[in-house]
A and B are shown apart, each in its own frame.
Chain A
Amino acid sequence: MVERPRRRLLPFDPWHLFLAPLSLLMLLPMVWMVVTSLETEAQTFHFPPILWPGTLRFENYLTVIRGSAFGTWFWNTTVVTVAIVLSNLVLCTLASYAFARIRFLGRGVVYLLLLATLMVPIQVVLIPTFLIVKELGLLDHLGALIVPHLASVFGIFMLTQFFRTLPVELEEAARIDGASRLSILLRIVVPLSLPALATLAVIQFMWTWNEFLWPLVTILTNQDAFTLQLGLATFQGSHQTQWHFVAAANIMSMLPMLILFLVAQRYFVRGIASQGLKG
């Protein structure tokens, strides 16, 4: 039976009538934040909220940058995030390849133990980790933010699962072609894993960039080691909050994330690892 094309009442899928308003709704907080960042303090407290302030006060942004240590915070967060993302990419790749491909005694047990730590809530390990960092003499220092997160179990798990899906014949062919383990990893496995590595990088970037609790606990008094999230918190006083500055600072702190997503987007495509095989 041939399915007859249904007569169309609309030039688009009817679902759009439902989805379009929904996406506008999702966008609303974002829009509100952008608008707030361009208002005067008085306008931010107006009720109902003013969604079009008339004059756009871009100087709010300059006030934030000049009036606070925004530049320092931004730099600190960048250093911490880049260091963690890079070291995660390297260390998780090495560990995952071992778990995925090299047979060694206790591989399964060690892997399970690692995975089990994913189920331990952060609150449980907060104090022990704090004590370790303190012993290392890293408190109040950016190192306290970097060292505990150099490798992540999540990253190991994700890459191990991905590496296991790569056709093992490719590696066997490379072994016969004379490639060493490291050479196989660098020339065959890593190039075929770019989508997974890009995903890991973005996730890790997002987590680190937005991390608040851990910096709050370990950066005690050293203002020079404040990260963006700590800095943003200083805008919110216990008695009053200057919402237009909070909004402006938040938008500036979000920009790198947005840019990263746009850049990394093209890597989030289907892997090509199976294209050298039959077909």
Chain B
Amino acid sequence: MAVVSFDRVTKVYPGPVVAVEDLSLEVADGELLILVGPSGCGKSTALRMVAGLERISAGTITIGDRIVNDVPPKDRDIAMVFQNYALYPHMTVEKNLAFGLRRRRTPRDEVRRRVGEVARMLGLEDLLGRRPGQLSGGQRQRVAMGRALVREPEVFLLDEPLSNLDAKLRVEMRAELKRLQDRLRITTIYVTHDQVEAMTLGERIAVLADGVLQQVGPPQDVYDHPRNVFVAGFIGSPPMNLLRGRASGGRIVAGDLEIEDVHVPDGDVLVGIRPEDLQPTGRDHPGPKLDVRVDVIEPLGDEVLVHGSVEASDVDTQGGSEDGALLAAGTSDRGTVRLRLPPRERPRPGSTLRVTMAHDRVHVFDAATGLAIATR
């Protein structure tokens, strides 16, 4: 078991392209930490640096009490599961599992015992004689997990391990991973772009964008208190609604939305409200209200997703990263808003829906820096 820590780690590819910038992060002993972010945000690079597959341009990575910057992968006592599994196609499942142990000159009896144990744990006993080409996607995934587990490593590195599975299998494997982690308590770094995986699996999640760490914390904390607009827009599906507004004298105005009694310095702000925090309300509701023109409704069975537009401009947090900025202005002056309604609600497209929100569910961000502003 070991603590993994990144200390001001930077990775620059020739170009120069900065893949990871000044990353400082500590993964506690036995913890499962999720590195999450959009593709190209540097999360895989960060993982590969821990594995020793990428050189570190600056800073140090420590596993246990050892700085591993110059330690070759095989001496780091780590195991990794690749996104495409990377099983050795010419070897049977048994040989795939045993390969790492054999390279480390583990006695044959010990190899057999450990392979048997892992095969039992993952339900691979009947597949030991098969080759990867004869396995289904889910079985390959298990073998890939098994190949990592059998080594009993200090640190477990998972690079989008579930992204090649179909939806049903992904849910099953997610639960299975969680069970495994609860049982084995191996320090694990798990890279994903899937925020459902991030929310459900991790004890803590670390959100990355453009190589820069945005926020670290327990999933619910990150969801409830995003530190900036990027995190607000990335975590949560559908993403948080963000509207441009202006604060002055303890009052925020964003289009026809007015929020009274907030303690925010004067200036341009972004108002963020999660889709589930927008509640339909009557005409004469006294609190803050917003008129949403319904464009499209998506009944999902357990809820109804409404896409609508409001009299306020919105911002897009995901699309604007080309020039390094985390924000990009919405194109029209009517902003898009999404809200979640109970399963039986069916507002007519074209109709107008008046919604309100609880005061304490409103997030406010500085429009210039994108940072969250405390409202109390």
Q: Footprint of B on A, CB under 8 Å?
A: 167, 169-170, 172-179, 183, 187-188, 191-192, 272-279
Contacts and interface: CB of A to CB of B under 8 A. Distances in A.
A173 B86 contact: yes
Contacts of B88: 170, 173-174, 188, 276
Interface residues of B, number: 31
Contacts of B132: 275-276
Contacts, number: 88
Contacts of A187: 99
B99 A176 contact: no
A179 B103 contact: yes
A176 B90 CA distance: 18
B103 A178 contact: yes
Given A192-B90, A273-B89, 5 more contacts: A172-B73, A174-B88, A178-B74, A178-B103, A279-B137
A250 to B, nearest CB: 40
Contact of B82 (A172, A178, A275): A172
A275 B89 contact: yes
B234 interface: no
A267 to B, nearest CB: 13
Nearest to B159: A169
Given A273-B89, A275-B89, A176 B131 contact: no
A175 B86 contact: no
5 contacts: A176-B73, A276-B87, A276-B89, A276-B132, A277-B85
B329 interface: no
Interface of B: 51-53, 72-74, 78-80, 82-90, 96, 99-100, 103-104, 131-133, 137, 140, 147, 151, 164
A167 B87 CA distance: 10
A279 to B, nearest CB: 6
Given A275-B133, A277-B84, A278-B140, A192 B89 contact: yes
B84 A177 contact: no
Contacts of B89: 170, 192, 272-277
Contact of A276 (B137, B140, B164): B140
A279 B140 contact: yes
Contacts of B80: 172-173, 176
Contacts of A277: 84-87, 89
A174 B79 contact: no
B73 to A, nearest CB: 5
B247 to A, nearest CB: 49
